[in-house]
Structure 1
Amino acid sequence: MDNEQILDHIGALVREERALHDRAGALTGDEKARLRSLEAQLDQCWDLLRQRRAKEEFGKDPDTATVRPPGDEAY
């Protein structure tokens, strides 16, 4: 996945997250779980994008960046 694809995926996740936030008062248990999942996926995507950009900046192969488990992102 290249940077543009990651950004496109982030955009899709954000749109879904916003739609759920718009219904915040009426979320079902499954929707609340989906919202938590979206938040974790967004964290992972942003982390992957930061890794790729850092590797590019220092002349390394951005394709060696990896998705880390949720909650394991280094900031």
Structure 2
Amino acid sequence: MSRDASILTAISSLVGEERELRTQHVKSRGDPATHSERLQKLEAELDQCWDLLNQRRALRAVGASPDAAKLRPASQVQGYLR
């Protein structure tokens, strides 16, 4: 489960950065184009982390090794419904 914990830590860190960027954007601090680009990257990374965590949980639920889960490309996981 330590791998799950590290994924959750990464998710927490990404969410924190996302919140900060959104707050800065609302308060009109910084370059909006830079914020938009970074937010898109953060959203893609978050989608990948959630997908990896969900894969691990699903594998564990069926008695398989969660270590068989693989990080999928952002283009594949973006838009998945949680």
The corresponding residue for 1:13 is 14
How high is the TM-score relative to the length of structure 1? 0.89
The corresponding residue for 1:35 is 39
Tell me: higher relative CO, structure 1 or 2? Use CA pairs within 8 A at least 6 residues apart: 1
**Gapped regions of structure 2 (runs ≥ 5):** none
Which residues in structure 2 correspond to 1:20-59 (within 5 Å)? 20-25=21-26, 26=28, 27-28=30-31, 29-59=33-63
Distance across 2 between alignment mates of 1:30 and 1:21? 12
The corresponding residue for 1:62 is 66
**How many matched pairs?**
75
Q: Percent identity?
A: 43
Match of 2:75 among 59, 67, 71: 71
